[in-house]
Amino acid sequence: MADAVWARLRQWARSIKRDVIALYVAARDPRTPVIAKVVAGLVAAYALSPIDLIPDFIPVLGQVDDLIIVPLGIIAVVRLIPAPLMAEFRAQANEIAERPSSRTAALAIAAIWVIAALLVFWWIYSRLM
């Protein structure tokens, strides 16, 4: 029983990951309705961003916001995009997910966030001193 539940949760997590990538593809496709593009872009940006509404280090609440906001956003966008088009985006997302990832790009993005945080810290520090 427990193994079936864990397998179902793993499958759900994979589908969420695939749909986030599909939303990214949808946000960039000219056939996607404008409102769906906007919502898809926001949901994908939120899901892929290291910055959350509620930080993950806050016990329970930090993880719950990801478990509620991202799936609800995905559901909203999927309803805004015609079904055949969404099926095409999911197929493209599966292809993208199978490609190797770039550690260099991940490090570059992390470096940009660290530099931005340091600049904000320096600006605040210079104003206070």
Q: How does pLDDT run across 61-91, given as a tens digit for each residue? A: 777 777 788 788 888 888 899 999 999 999 9
Q: Which residue has the higher pLDDT, 104 or 120?
A: 120
Whether 54 contacts 61, CB under 8 Å: yes
Residue for token pair 């600049």: 119
Q: How far is CA 19 from CA 12, 39, 57, 94, in A?
A: 10, 13, 25, 9
Any idea of the CA torsion for 35, 23, 73, 60, to the nearest 10 degrees? -150
Q: Band of the pLDDT at 118, cuts 50, 70, 90?
A: very high
Q: Which two tokens stand for residue 99?
A: 């490609």
Q: How far apart are CA 61 and CA 40, in angstroms?
A: 24
Q: 9 versus 84: which is more confidently predicted?
A: 84
Mean pLDDT, residues 100-107 taken together: 76
pLDDT of 13-69, one tens digit each?
788 788 888 888 888 889 999 999 888 878 777 877 777 666 767 777 777 777 788
Q: Which of 8-12, 88-92, 113-117 is the least confident region?
A: 8-12
The whole-angstrom separation of Cα 17 and Cα 20 is: 5
* pLDDT of the residue at 121: 92
pLDDT number for residue 100: 67
